[in-house]
Amino acid sequence: METRKMLPILEALLMAAAEPLTPKKLAYILETTPEKVEELVRQLRWNYDAAGHGFELKSVAGGYRLCTRPQYDPYVAKLDLPRPSPLTPAALETLAIIAYRQPVTKSEIEAIRGVKVDSSIRTLLDRRLIQEVGRKDVPGRPILYGTSRQFLEYFGLDNLDELPPLREFVTEKTAGDKKRGKLEDVS
């Protein structure tokens, strides 16, 4: 099939999809190669940028998704679209530990946070932001947790390498706490 015929089909697929579509899946549907899909995606991105569209084609969770451009967020927010309830600070802390330390056990997370994390783990599993990734080879064989593809989608990341370095999260307050001896290691 010619490129000019594949481009509108690719657009239709991206608009209809509820989740990011991988190059492999798109190649299967379009009856072409993943390399050809990558070429089509580059062309669509260029077209959208050149025409000044209010949306862009982003790489998310190993696939592609159409998203509104960030500069239009204030207008999109006025739509009052239903949003899932936000994660609690405790769940976010637990998720951050899992994201940066994975694979990690519940007891390792609790040692870092200093509190029980059963509820946070259950919430994150229910929302499919984390998953069981195996068992640690120690007595009792505790479950190891890691982030999921939905985690990448939720935070708009293509892969875990896009997580910001931990040092970026050191605020003046935590730096002050460290000087006063309250934090042993912020890295």
Cα distance between residue 129 and residue 88, in whole Å: 14
- Kindly state the percentage of the chain with pLDDT values over 90: 67
């569209």: which residue's tokens?
A: 53
Helices (H), 23-105: 23-30, 34-51, 73-77, 89-101
Structure tokens at 149: 């593809």
Q: What is the assigned CATH class of domain 3-77? A: mainly alpha
Kindly report, residue by residue over 120-157, the tens digit of the pLDDT.
999 999 999 999 999 999 999 999 999 999 999 888 88
- Residue predicted with more confidence, 168 or 66: 66
CATH number of 89-156: 1.10.10.10
Asked if pLDDT for residue 183 goes beyond 50, the answer is no
Cα distance between residue 71 and residue 124, in whole Å: 30
- Amino acid, res. 129: L
Kindly report, residue by residue over 38-76, the tens digit of the pLDDT.
999 999 999 999 999 999 999 998 899 999 999 998 998
- Buried-exposed string 27-39: b where 16+ CB fall within 10 A, e elsewhere: beebebeeebbee
pTM over 0.85: no
Domains 3-77 and 89-156 share a fold: yes
Q: What is the dihedral of CA 22, 26, 27, 32, to 10 degrees?
A: -150
Q: Residue ranges per domain, the chain? A: 3-77, 89-156
- Residue predicted with more confidence, 121 or 182: 121
Q: Write phi, then psi, for 71 (nearest 5 degrees).
A: -70, -15
Q: What is the pLDDT of residue 185?
A: 42
